[in-house]
Amino acid sequence: MNIKEYFVSIFKGLHSLIKGMEVTGKELVTPKVTEQYPENRATLHIPERFRATLQFIYDENGGHKCIACGSCERNCPNQTISITKRMVDLPDGKKKMKLDKYMYDLGSCTFCGLCVQVCPTNAIEFSNDFEQAVFTREKLLKQLNYLPEKDEPAPAPAPAAKPAAAAVKPAADETKTEKPEENKE
């Protein structure tokens, strides 16, 4: 190392020190803001994009749009979501997947938003209710489909057709009349 490089490194070090002291000095004179949290709940501003907890979007009739496809469960990086589904028969004879339980573990959620992004029916969203403190981990496990499922309408009974056995009865009567004749001979 020569003399020129030595003095250049000293001046770079001093420049870096002055720059750091400048940032520290600005923070020293900046007015401090203290949130009076429990007292200012009514005026507290929470950003709209804040991700607090996952929830279903229910319509005015109490129904949700979840089709139990499982894409949110598959895309969750740490298996926070677990879906239990069942197959039901529709009135027209087809089968359909129905959601039985949608369990969400808030304690292991990373709030990445992948589940909301991949939902094909936009059935889930993040709320911005940030007060989620509880005393036990069991209370962090939530069932999102808390409203009861609407049952499918029962299939209408098929109209009663004329029984085919009525056409067979006269033939049975003819055989009865023949049998006594055979006995007479």
Helix (H) or strand (E) holding 180: helix 165-184
Nearest to 55 by CA among 178, 181, 143: 143
| Gap between the Cα atoms of 162 and 96, Å rounded | 33
CB-based contacts of 45, cutoff 8 Å, min separation 6: none
pLDDT, position 40: 86
Q: Would you report the helix, strand and coil content of the chain in percent, each value rounded to 5? A: 35, 20, 45
Helix (H) or strand (E) holding 89: strand 81-89
Question: Check: CATH 3.40.50.150 for 53-143?
Answer: no
Claim: this prediction has a pTM higher than 0.85? no
Average pLDDT over residues 141-161: 66
pLDDT, position 41: 83
Residue 125 CA: distances (Å) to CA of 44, 112, 128, 169: 22, 12, 10, 66
Query: 160 falls in which pLDDT band (50, 70, 90)?
Result: low
pLDDT, position 18: 96
pLDDT, one tens digit per residue, over 75-86 is: 999 999 999 999
Residue 173 has pLDDT above 90, yes or no: no
Nearest to 130 by CA among 15, 45, 14, 43: 45
Residue 71 has pLDDT above 90, yes or no: yes
- What residue segments make up the domains of the chain, in order of their start? 53-143
Query: 13 falls in which pLDDT band (50, 70, 90)?
Result: very high
Residue 112 has pLDDT above 90, yes or no: yes
CB-based contacts of 123, cutoff 8 Å, min separation 6: 56, 57, 64, 65, 66, 67
Average pLDDT over residues 174-185: 48
Query: 159 falls in which pLDDT band (50, 70, 90)?
Result: low
Q: What is the DSSP string of 96-121?
A: EEEEEEEEEEGGG-----HHHHH-TT
CB-based contacts of 78, cutoff 8 Å, min separation 6: 108, 109, 110
pLDDT, position 175: 47
pLDDT, position 109: 93
b/e 98-127 (16+ beta carbons within 10 angstroms → b): ebeebebbbeebeeeeebbeebeeebbebe
